[in-house]
Amino acid sequence: MLNEQEQAWVDQLQAGQISGMEQLIDTYGNRMKRTAFLMTGDEGVAEDCVQEMFISFYFNIRFFRAEASIGTYLYRILMNACKQKLRNQWFHKVMPTDELQEYGEKSIEEDALRRMAIHKALARLKPKYREVLVLYYFNQLTVDEIGLVMNENSNTIKTRMKRGREQLRPYLEREGYGDGIPENVRV
């Protein structure tokens, strides 16, 4: 269900007012960009995915059914855009894996190294495991919300989270971060 602000944005967009889209981008842009970066590992590709997500939402607003929040709907569009980019063979050939960056505030060196280890470990996971971990740990979506985004039941999401964590943990332990994962990343 939509809150009052989201309903106002939808009403504005359906009435052809671009101001609703500007507010939507201001509210969700950075969060979606960070999520896309965590999925793709490439800043430029992440920006492309976010742009495609907003364009898709804008041109398909008339089909929006408001069964979930706008954020949940945007995550679903974004995940599909990221998956499409990851399937593209050209992308696999040029995707940098050594230079991982993070959006947001700079932190102390150790925290940055830990975060890079997490990013590298996430990049090694299959997309179906990476998606649920990124949505849960970095975007604080609930299991049910992730299920809506991915069109899967909550038990499937829980299984993917468990398997993703199991695959993530040994890599982080090898890097020396098995017991030092930041609290905001609940792995």
Cite the residue boundaries of each domain of the chain with CATH code 1.10.1740.10.
1-97
Cite the residue boundaries of each domain of the chain with CATH code 1.10.10.10.
108-187
Q: What is the mean pLDDT of residues 33-49?
A: 88
DSSP string, 45-85: HHHHHHHHHHHHHHHTGGG---SS-HHHHHHHHHHHHHHHH
CATH numeric code, 1-97? 1.10.1740.10
Q: What is the pLDDT of residues 55-99, one digit of tens each?
A: 888 888 888 777 888 888 899 899 888 888 877 644 444 433 333
Please state, for a pLDDT cut of 90, what percent of the chain lies above it: 20
CA–CA separation, 20 and 143 (whole Å): 29
The fold adopted by the segment(s) 108-187 is Arc Repressor Mutant, subunit A (1.10.10)
- The yes-or-no verdict on residue 143 having pLDDT over 80 is yes
Q: What is the mean pLDDT of residues 100-125?
A: 61
Q: What is the pLDDT at residue 110?
A: 60
- The yes-or-no verdict on residue 185 having pLDDT over 60 is no
| pTM more than 0.85 | no
Let me know if 2 is exposed, middle or buried by CB neighbors in 10 A (0-12, 13-18, 19+).
Answer: middle
